[in-house]
Amino acid sequence: MKELWLKQLSNNINNNIDLIKITKIKQKDNPQFLYKKKNIFFNVKIPIIFLKKIEKKNPKDPILLQFIFNKKELIQYKKYNKNPLNEKFIIPGMIHKYKNRVLILLTGICAVHCRYCFRKNTKKINSITICNWKIIIKYIKKNFEINEIIFSGGDPLVLNDKKINFFINDINKIPHIKILRIHTRIICILPQRISKNLLKIFSKCKFHIVIVTHINHSNEISEELFEKINFLKKRRITILNQSVLLKNINDNYKILVNLSNNLFNIGILPYYLHLLDKIEGSKHFYVSENKAKKIMKKILLFLPGFLVPRLTKDIYGGKNKKFII
Ligand code: SF4
């Protein structure tokens, strides 16, 4: 029988018209949203169950704005391009930028399509194949400096348990791997993804697991997520969160202070606050570095140090992140 989260994952909205209809947005309230059925690159995608988090008739809802297609995406700007980080793959599907860790794109698929995603043009073509996986494992086995593997994507946890188990089993056989980090958005979108079976798979890992969630606003947090985070914590899994600073969504110190407090309340520590990567079609989400610094200064007045995410930005072709604050 199909697991609940898989059913929820496949039951989704995939175009603007339906999203506008269900959320009862009126054209006069936001003429920027696309009201015609039109094939767009990187289609709208959001599971129906997650729509309950969006306030009806509110065109400014902070969740809606992350997933709805806005006509501003069609405007071209000079500094915004298709591959803003110019990621280099040493083996198809794998990046080895830092000495001690490699990042593997397990899949190009996600539970949602975030309109500002910096990998929206590249995640599908750059994700691994089974053949590349074997090459990647060989490479890691030979390279003793690598002690951490990062599963990224797309969203690695959209893969079913059988596949996750397969990948984890191979890593379990490499003694110098001490940490597996999983970057995922699905667990706040569909907390049911943290199934009993997935927890069992995690339990047999010889290495430490770190899960990095991607939550931008407190409205994305639910009771169900809280329950599932508890299960993960009982297995001594570390859970961190990264957010992207997004105009009209979370570019306000009160929203970010609230987010840090709410994350902490459910057992997640704020980790990074990223400046937007300049992917084409995303300028309407951009918050300048200066404004970001001002927001951070305010945040510092209201939060203990351990709840302040580090403000950071990635640089085109850069060797590492730049920490701003
Ligand atoms: S979940 Fe992550 S990888 Fe997928 S569209 Fe959103 S930002 Fe991009």
- Co-location of 66 and 112 in the same domain: no
Would 175 be classed as within a structural domain? yes
Atom 7 (ligand 1) nearest CA: 117
How many residues in the chain?
325
**3-class DSSP assignment, residue 194:** coil
Ligand 1 pocket, 153 CB below 6 A?
Answer: yes
Mean pLDDT in residue range 62-67 = 98
- Co-location of 24 and 172 in the same domain: no
- The two structure tokens encoding residue 321: 């992140």
* 142 C-alpha to ligand 1 centroid (Å): 31
Pick from 59-68, 102-111, 126-135, 298-307: least confident: 126-135
* 153 C-alpha to ligand 1 centroid (Å): 8
CA distance 116 to 178: 32
> Which helix (H) or strand (E) element contains residue 149?
strand 148-152
Would 110 be classed as within a structural domain? yes
3-state secondary structure 203-228: HCCCCEEEEEEECCCHHHCCHHHHHH
Determine the pLDDT at residue 86. Answer: 87
- Co-location of 242 and 146 in the same domain: yes
Distances (CA, A) of 17 to 114, 165, 285, 320: 17, 38, 21, 40
Q: How confident is the model at residue 73 (pLDDT cuts 50, 70, 90)?
A: very high
Would 89 be classed as within a structural domain? no
**pLDDT: which is higher, 106 or 315:** 106
Q: How confident is the model at residue 315 (pLDDT cuts 50, 70, 90)?
A: confident
- Co-location of 182 and 287 in the same domain: yes
Mean pLDDT in residue range 80-91 = 90
pLDDT of 113 over the 80 cut: yes
Could you report the per-residue pLDDT of 203-253, keeping only the tens digit for each? 999 999 999 999 999 999 999 999 999 999 999 999 999 999 999 999 999
* 291 C-alpha to ligand 1 centroid (Å): 24
Percentages helix, strand, coil for the chain, rounded to the nearest 5? 40, 15, 45
Determine the pLDDT at residue 2. Answer: 82
Strands 94-98 and 101-105, by their bridges, are antiparallel
3-state secondary structure 23-91: HCCCHHHCCCECCCCCCCCCCCCEEHHHHHHCCCCCCCCCCHHHHCCEHHHHCCCCCCECCCCCCCCCE
Could you report the per-residue pLDDT of 258-303, keeping only the tens digit for each? 999 999 999 999 999 999 999 999 999 999 999 999 999 999 999 9
Q: How confident is the model at residue 156 (pLDDT cuts 50, 70, 90)?
A: very high
CA distance 264 to 307: 8
* 108 C-alpha to ligand 1 centroid (Å): 9
pLDDT of 122 over the 90 cut: no
CA distance 227 to 162: 24
Sign of the torsion angle spanned by Cα atoms 49, 50, 54, 60: negative
- Co-location of 128 and 177 in the same domain: yes
Backbone angles phi, psi at 50, to 5 degrees: -80, -15
* 246 C-alpha to ligand 1 centroid (Å): 14
Ligand 1 pocket, 119 CB below 6 A?
Answer: yes
Distance of CA 288 to the CA centre of its chain: 21
- Co-location of 47 and 169 in the same domain: no
pLDDT above 90 covers a percentage of the chain that reads: 85
Backbone angles phi, psi at 40, to 5 degrees: -120, 150
pLDDT of 6 over the 90 cut: yes
Ligand 1 pocket, 110 CB below 6 A?
Answer: yes
Distance of CA 152 to the CA centre of its chain: 9
**pLDDT: which is higher, 162 or 39:** 162
- Residue from 68, 105, 119, 217 to probe ligand 1 pocket by mutation (most atoms less than 8 Å from CB): 119
User: Which of 191, 181, 202, 187 shows the shortest CA–CA distance to 272?
Assistant: 181
Atom 3 (ligand 1) nearest CA: 154
Q: Decide: 80 and 122 in contact? Cβ < 8 Å.
A: no
- Co-location of 159 and 104 in the same domain: yes
What is the number of domains present in the chain? Answer: 2
Would 84 be classed as within a structural domain? no
CA distance 279 to 287: 13
Determine the pLDDT at residue 36. Answer: 79
- Co-location of 106 and 178 in the same domain: yes
Mean pLDDT in residue range 131-136 = 92
Domain extent at residue 61: 4-74
